[in-house]
């Protein structure tokens, strides 16, 4: 089930060039299971027609404060009741100023004043308008009044200039909205984690690696970020984009991964070792391509990053991963105890390696906790919930 399934969202579309992005946002929200109701200002209708939004949302579009379709002529009241959030995208300088000063001169600004639900605003304007002192004051006051401001980003603008003020892309806004509704189970926590494979060079064109896709690690990084954590993801080579709001550090070899983890650890509350780190590397990498006739490979062990972090005197809460092809319980629990980990996630490689789904068992001091097969995004959320529970239990013990 999608994180937005069944959520009622009112989307306010105002008069900015970025209104074209709102159409894609409506499509993405609908695909995620949300019930979207578009409120289109007079300015917004100059860029995208009501027909477009009605076709994409499957609901009537609203624009008139005195709309006769509402029996009591109070669309500004009825639209907000039972609504999970109002999202304004694009949020022009004009509408932001009106929201801050309580001006209610059309349906959108009036219903925002009468709302009983959260308000999210995605600013979109020329860079000079964004940098103007009046806009800076208004944005600060809007946030102080309880609204959530998402963006803007820097980039090319319709005016031909480049700078801050560009509205976030629809997929980014969708991620912000999903994260907004997630319980902040890891708020205030710093999580350092590894993901993906490592690549140990033999020569300029060959190396030792594995088939890890990185999907589970990236899904977990996203879940931790949605739960409110600051996340540093040390990633081996993958083709995956960094999750929104996650700091990604790209590495190739196990030695590079260890160095990056050590550099990121100060202040970390949690370390999660998801990466499939190669157990061995060539003793030395050849400068030139090795010919078959002279091929001779001497291997040396790679560092055990998870074990090193767990053995530190100031070790954060450590979570390990074990991917096995058989005897999962024995190998996973053995790994957890050998490395003295408070939590370990185990799975059979045939259940999740490279796929979008996974089936895992969570191991801790209380025993084993099997999880149903599910998309890795859902599995990651369950892992975060279990992790947060263990962190809370540890905090309670330490407070005694």
Residue 157 phi, psi (nearest 5):
-120, 160
pLDDT at 313: 92
Tokens 């499509």, residue located: 27
Cβ(11)–Cβ(37) below 8 Å: yes
By percentage, how much of the chain surpasses pLDDT 70? 94
Angle (CA) 350 353 355, round 5°: 105
Cβ(129)–Cβ(92) below 8 Å: no
Q: Check whether 356 is labelled as a binding-site residue.
A: no
pLDDT at 290: 77
Q: Which two tokens stand for residue 82?
A: 């039972």
Q: Which two tokens stand for residue 290?
A: 């090795």
Q: Going from the N-terminus, what domains does the chain have, and what CATH number goes with each? A: 8-181 (3.40.50.1950), 190-399 (3.40.50.10300)
The residue from 112, 117, 159, 224 that is catalytic is 159
By percentage, how much of the chain surpasses pLDDT 90? 62
Angle (CA) 258 235 289, round 5°: 80
The reported pTM is 0.85
Mean pLDDT across the stretch 299-326? 91
Angle (CA) 356 361 365, round 5°: 145
pLDDT at 71: 61
Q: How many CB atoms lie within 10 A of CB 367?
A: 8
Which contiguous run of DSSP H or E holds residue 370? Answer: strand 367-370
pLDDT tier, 293 (very low <50, low <70, confident <90, very high otherwise): low
Mean pLDDT across the stretch 61-76? 69
Average pLDDT, the chain: 89
Least confident of 89-103, 145-159, 189-203, 302-316: 145-159
pLDDT tier, 68 (very low <50, low <70, confident <90, very high otherwise): low
Mean pLDDT across the stretch 275-298? 79
pLDDT at 34: 92
Mean pLDDT across the stretch 347-356? 73
CB contact set of 129 (below 8 Å; sequence gap of 6+): 93, 135, 165
Q: Which two tokens stand for residue 317?
A: 């809460």
Q: Check whether 335 is labelled as a binding-site residue.
A: yes
* pLDDT tens digit sequence for 159-213: 777 888 889 999 999 999 999 998 999 999 999 999 999 998 888 888 888 888 8
Cβ(111)–Cβ(75) below 8 Å: yes
Q: Check whether 304 is labelled as a binding-site residue.
A: yes
Q: Check whether 99 is labelled as a binding-site residue.
A: no
CB contact set of 389 (below 8 Å; sequence gap of 6+): none
Question: Distance between CA 268 and CA 374 in Å, rounded?
Answer: 29
Cβ(358)–Cβ(339) below 8 Å: no
Question: Distance between CA 39 and CA 22 in Å, rounded?
Answer: 11
Residue 354 has pLDDT above 80, yes or no: no
Q: Check whether 303 is labelled as a binding-site residue.
A: yes
Residue 128 has pLDDT above 50, yes or no: yes
Q: Check whether 314 is labelled as a binding-site residue.
A: no
Smallest CA-to-CA distance from 248 within 232, 270, 265 is with: 232
Q: Is 354 left (phi over 0), alpha (psi -120 to 50) or beta?
A: left
Question: Distance between CA 396 and CA 391 in Å, rounded?
Answer: 9
Q: Check whether 383 is labelled as a binding-site residue.
A: no
pLDDT tier, 74 (very low <50, low <70, confident <90, very high otherwise): low
pLDDT at 88: 95
Cβ(186)–Cβ(229) below 8 Å: yes
Question: Distance between CA 248 and CA 245 in Å, rounded?
Answer: 9
Question: Distance between CA 79 and CA 59 in Å, rounded?
Answer: 12
Q: Check whether 105 is labelled as a binding-site residue.
A: no
Question: Distance between CA 273 and CA 93 in Å, rounded?
Answer: 44
Residue 241 phi, psi (nearest 5):
-75, 150
* pLDDT tens digit sequence for 19-44: 999 999 999 999 999 999 999 999 99
Would you call 117 a catalytic residue per the annotation?
A: no
pLDDT at 387: 95
Answer positive or negative: Cα dihedral of 26, 30, 31, 32: positive
* pLDDT tens digit sequence for 233-268: 999 999 899 998 899 999 999 999 999 999 999 999
Question: Distance between CA 50 and CA 110 in Å, rounded?
Answer: 19
Question: Distance between CA 181 and CA 270 in Å, rounded?
Answer: 23
pLDDT at 1: 43
Q: Check whether 272 is labelled as a binding-site residue.
A: no
């Amino acid at each position: 089930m999608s994180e937005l399934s069944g959520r009622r969202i009112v989307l306010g579309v105002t008069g900015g060039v970025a209104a074209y992005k709102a159409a894609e946002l409506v499509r993405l929200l609908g695909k995620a299971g949300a019930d979207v109701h578009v409120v289109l200002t007079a300015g917004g209708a100059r860029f995208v027609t009501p027909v477009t939004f009605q076709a994409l949302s499957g609901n009537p579009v609203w624009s008139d404060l005195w709309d006769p379709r509402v029996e009591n002529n109070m669309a500004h009241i009825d639209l907000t009741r039972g609504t999970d959030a109002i999202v304004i995208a694009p949020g022009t300088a004009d509408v932001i100023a009106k929201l801050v000063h309580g001006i209610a001169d059309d349906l959108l600004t009036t219903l925002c004043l009468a709302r009983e639900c959260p308000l999210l605003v995605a600013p979109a304007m020329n860079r000079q308008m964004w940098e103007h002192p009046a806009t800076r004051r208004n944005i600060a006051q809007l946030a102080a009044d309880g609204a959530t401001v998402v963006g803007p980003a820097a980039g090319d603008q319709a005016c031909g200039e480049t700078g801050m003020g560009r509205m976030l892309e629809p997929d980014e806004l969708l991620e912000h909205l999903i994260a907004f509704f997630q319980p902040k189970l890891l708020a205030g926590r710093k999580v350092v984690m590894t993901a993906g494979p490592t690549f140990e060079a033999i020569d300029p064109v060959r190396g030792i690696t594995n088939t890890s896709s990185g999907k589970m690690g990236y899904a977990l990084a996203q879940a931790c970020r949605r739960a409110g954590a600051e996340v540093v993801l040390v990633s081996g080579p993958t083709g995956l984009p960094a999750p929104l709001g996650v700091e990604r550090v790209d590495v190739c070899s196990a030695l590079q991964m260890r160095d990056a983890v050590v550099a990121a650890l100060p202040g970390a509350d949690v370390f999660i070792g998801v990466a499939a780190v190669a157990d061995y590397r060539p003793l030395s990498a050849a400068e030139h391509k090795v010919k078959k006739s002279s091929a001779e490979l001497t291997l040396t062990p790679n560092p055990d990053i998870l074990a090193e972090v767990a053995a530190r005197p100031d070790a954060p809460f450590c979570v390990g991963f074990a991917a096995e092809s058989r005897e999962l319980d024995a190998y996973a629990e053995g790994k957890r105890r050998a490395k003295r980990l408070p939590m370990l996630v185990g799975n059979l490689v045939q259940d999740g390696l490279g796929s979008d789904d996974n089936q895992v068992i969570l191991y801790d001091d209380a025993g084993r906790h099997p999880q149903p097969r599910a998309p890795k995004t859902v599995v990651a959320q369950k892992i975060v919930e279990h992790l947060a529970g263990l962190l809370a239990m540890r905090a309670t013990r330490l407070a005694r």
